[in-house]
Structure 1
Amino acid sequence: MLYYLFDYFNKTLNLSGTGVFQYITFRSALAFILSLLLSTIYGKRVIHFLQRQQVGETVRELGLAGQNEKAGTPTMGGLIIIFATLIPVFLFAKLQNIYIVLLIVTTLWMGTIGFVDDYIKIFKKDKQGLKGIFKVFGQVGLGLIVGSVLYFNPQVTVRTDTGKINIFKQTTETVITPAAVEEKSTATTIPFFKNNEFDYAEILSFMGDGYEKWAWIIFIPVVIFIITAVSNGANLTDGIDGLAAGTSAISVLALAIFTFVSGNIIFSNYLNIMYIPNSGEMTVFIAAFVGSLIGFLWYNSYPASVFMGDTGSLTIGGIIAVLAIAVRKELLIPLLCGIFLVENFSVVLQVAYFKYTKKRFGEGRRIFLMSPLHHHYQKKGYHESKIVTRFWIVAIMLAILSIVTLKLR
């Protein structure tokens, strides 16, 4: 909203200094600062409100050190992340930008699913929360919306070949003339390869001429799968103090770099990557999102004063998935979100191996002492703050390696 106000001041009233709001970097900085302030200052008020409503965590008997002490800690703290993200976005972002609209819808959609799940657990005293089938329906529904918009909306275009960028002076301004045109495309980026564009439509090339118009048959299910997988991965990672929020902030910071360079024709041309018009605006959203995650860590770091609950974890996973898909870096998710992937696989492997051995030997056996993986290390006697710190270090290394793929081809 403030963007449009200052844009009016600049173009209509010609007030000096108001043009600075045209710069994504400036608005991103403001969004980060405001989000950080909101999550740290007003986060405490939200925690006190949750305490008055007796929104406390019910702890299962898992035999983990320090687990019982967490009983009664306020949950649903994801509300802090959601509000601290959306308020700066509404103030500083271009709200008609299709990518910003998608991210706002994702935040509210996944936040609502998580909120309902937490509500059932806390107020209905049902430890199972929202039935898994309804969670999946919600994730699939969001995937359908995101996939359909990214495929059919005319504002979503790419330039897979920016060509030569001609920069020349005309009196007082610089004019940039791109050699390529914007086009609708289902192309994405394959990391570590030199000619690293892959078009989902190519999977249907066996259909003959005109196969491109059926690319949505592949693209939309891929979007649904990614959103479901990443949101569940974030949900499983939220098991000990500061783990999900910290690793997510690291991954999102890396995505901020991808978003900024992909939305800037000069940088994308220099790096020889796909240019995605209008996507740079997502940097404002990302800045607000990172600020809210860091501010939330102020209260979620060990010993946690609040837990994010499914309200936060499902929202985080959904946002990361949509960001990666929007900048055509979804194939980097296994590397960029490696912590989520490992946590997911540890559960899948544990369950599959247990069922297999029970069927074959008559008793279930386990690969890990406990799953998800972070609980395995807790069972081995590591303090949770040490586990979280080491997971953060791994997440930083994965994020750096992901960024390096911009040139490592």
Structure 2
Amino acid sequence: MVRVLIAGLVAMVIAVVIGPTFIDWLRRAGVGQQIREEGPARHIVKQGTPTMGGLLILASAIAPFLLLSRYTMPGLALLFATVGCGLIGFTDDYLKVRRRRSLGLSGRWKMLGLVLITIGIGWVVGRVGYLDTEIYFPVVDVNIDLRWLYYPFLFVVIAGTANGVNLTDGLDGLAAGTSAISLLTFLAIAAISWIRSGPPGDRSSNYLDVAIFAAALIGGVIGFLWFNAFPAEVFMGDTGSMALGGAIAVLAVMTQTEVLLVFIGAIYLIEALSVMIQVASFKRTGRRVFLMAPIHHHFEMKAWSETKIMVRFWIVGAILCTIGFVLFYRYYLSFKR
């Protein structure tokens, strides 16, 4: 457990220490946020704020993970998915900055990148002994083997979570705070699974590596949040939001708790659903359900302050993550025995 604590603390210290220098470098390089014209009017003051802060999160988390990791396949799979999704986001951010507009990488290229990441994670699932194509549903206590359907399901989990976190990243501190809460929940799940996995061995090392990675990412996110809290000095950009979404999704896969993402990733699901509902309603009826989507902008249009929205989303996210953790503790531990 010492490795887990050290990973989190080192990542946080790295982010806080190098953060000011990194932000200054982004500012000098002209890496500024491009604001959507159709977004809330008061966001125009954020134009030019340094972005691509996700690089700070990744650098801060990867360094202690590589230092403390047991280099198991689940741990390396998490690293692969996080960096892979981060690269997709980085390409998107780079194109936005270069073109000086809010449109970056096209959707088809994003989906192609996510498909390749899904293939890689699917290969790991087939190689790791305790992972399989079965999905466990708590409460009803049912275990269903999806067989080949598991791989399309895996794509939905990874792509859906990555894009959900991306949509959530619209207010200062919102995506970083909710992601830290989700990651902390998965850290608790991985740590308990490691403790309950018995004598040291492959299974024990797998869960330990997952816990180390989660802790390192939490440290990096908290260190980043120091500069991202309102009023933000830096934005994580798609680099950070896509990376965090990919990490959260694959943490669910590596802990065999994909179904619990309904609770642990509920904020991202709500944000994504609000966009889908808005688009579907407007196309069918010409009317909008929300004042603006994603839903956090709806509350902005109702004159809620950014900090009020952020804190309330954090509270709701924490409550839902607690429900997810309780379900894990009540059902999954007995299922894994």
Coarse TM-score class (shorter-chain normalised): over 0.9
Q: How far does the alpha carbon of each residue in 1:338-359 deviate from its partner, in whole angstroms, 9 at most, with x for none?
A: 10000000000000000001xx
Q: Aligned partners of 1:49 and 1:150: how far apart in 2?
A: 40
Alignment match, 1:69: 45
Kept in 2, the 8 Å contact 1:157–1:276? The answer is no
Distance 1:129 1:26, change over 3 A: same
Q: Aligned partners of 2:66 and 2:12: how far apart in 1?
A: 15
2:247 paired residue among 319, 322, 328: 319
Alignment match, 1:125: 100
Alignment match, 1:116: 91
Alignment of 1:356 with 2:284, yes or no, is yes
Kept in 2, the 8 Å contact 1:253–1:290? The answer is yes
**1:241 match: secondary structure:** coil
Alignment match, 1:150: 125
Distance 1:407 1:127, change over 3 A: closer
1:394 paired residue among 316, 328, 337: 316
Kept in 1, the 8 Å contact 2:198–2:204? The answer is no
For residue 65 of structure 1, report the CA deviation from its aligned partner.
5.5
Kept in 2, the 8 Å contact 1:247–1:392? The answer is yes
For residue 128 of structure 1, report the CA deviation from its aligned partner.
1.4
Q: Aligned partners of 1:295 and 1:252: how far apart in 2?
A: 14
**1:263 match: secondary structure:** helix
Structure 1 unaligned blocks of 5 or more: 1-24, 159-183, 202-214, 269-274, 358-363
Alignment match, 2:4: 28
Alignment of 1:192 with 2:139, yes or no, is yes
Kept in 2, the 8 Å contact 1:32–1:290? The answer is yes
For residue 199 of structure 1, report the CA deviation from its aligned partner.
3.4
Alignment of 1:3-402 (within 5 A): 25-62=1-38, 64=40, 66-95=42-71, 97-151=72-126, 153=127, 156-158=128-130, 185-193=132-140, 195-196=141-142, 198-201=143-146, 215=147, 217-265=148-196, 278-357=206-285, 364-402=286-324
TM-score if structure 2 supplies the norm length?
A: 0.93
Greater relative CO (CA pairs within 8 A, separation 6+): 2
Alignment match, 1:4: none
Q: Aligned partners of 1:265 and 1:407: how far apart in 2?
A: 11
**1:368 match: secondary structure:** coil
For residue 66 of structure 1, report the CA deviation from its aligned partner.
3.1
Alignment match, 1:7: none
Q: How far does the alpha carbon of each residue in 1:163-185 deviate from its partner, in whole angstroms, 9 at most, with x for none?
A: xxxxxxxxxxxxxxxxxxxxx63
Q: Aligned partners of 1:219 and 1:185: how far apart in 2?
A: 9
The percent of aligned pairs where both chains have the same amino acid is: 39
Distance 1:266 1:313, change over 3 A: closer
Q: How far does the alpha carbon of each residue in 1:213-264 deviate from its partner, in whole angstroms, 9 at most, with x for none?
A: xx2x222211111100000000000000000010010011111111122233
Q: How far does the alpha carbon of each residue in 1:303-342 deviate from its partner, in whole angstroms, 9 at most, with x for none?
A: 0000000000000000000000111100111111110000
Query: AA paired with 2:178?
Result: T
Kept in 1, the 8 Å contact 2:35–2:102? The answer is no
Query: AA paired with 2:275?
Result: V
**2:183 match: secondary structure:** helix
Kept in 2, the 8 Å contact 1:185–1:199? The answer is no
For residue 267 of structure 1, report the CA deviation from its aligned partner.
7.9
**2:328 match: secondary structure:** coil
Distance 1:366 1:333, change over 3 A: same
Q: Aligned partners of 2:328 and 2:213: how far apart in 1?
A: 22
Distance 1:124 1:68, change over 3 A: closer
Q: Aligned partners of 1:265 and 1:403: how far apart in 2?
A: 15
Distance 1:73 1:365, change over 3 A: same
For residue 117 of structure 1, report the CA deviation from its aligned partner.
0.4
For residue 190 of structure 1, report the CA deviation from its aligned partner.
1.4
Q: How far does the alpha carbon of each residue in 1:116-151 deviate from its partner, in whole angstroms, 9 at most, with x for none?
A: 100000013343100011001111110111012212
Query: AA paired with 1:33?
Result: L
Kept in 2, the 8 Å contact 1:251–1:337? The answer is yes
Q: Aligned partners of 1:389 and 1:265: how far apart in 2?
A: 34
**2:300 match: secondary structure:** helix
> Which deviates further from its counterpart, 282-291 or 122-131?
122-131
* Cα RMSD (Å): 1.8
Kept in 1, the 8 Å contact 2:210–2:254? The answer is no
For residue 408 of structure 1, report the CA deviation from its aligned partner.
4.1
Kept in 1, the 8 Å contact 2:197–2:204? The answer is no
Q: Which has the larger radius of gyration?
A: 1
For residue 401 of structure 1, report the CA deviation from its aligned partner.
0.8
Query: AA paired with 1:142?
Result: I
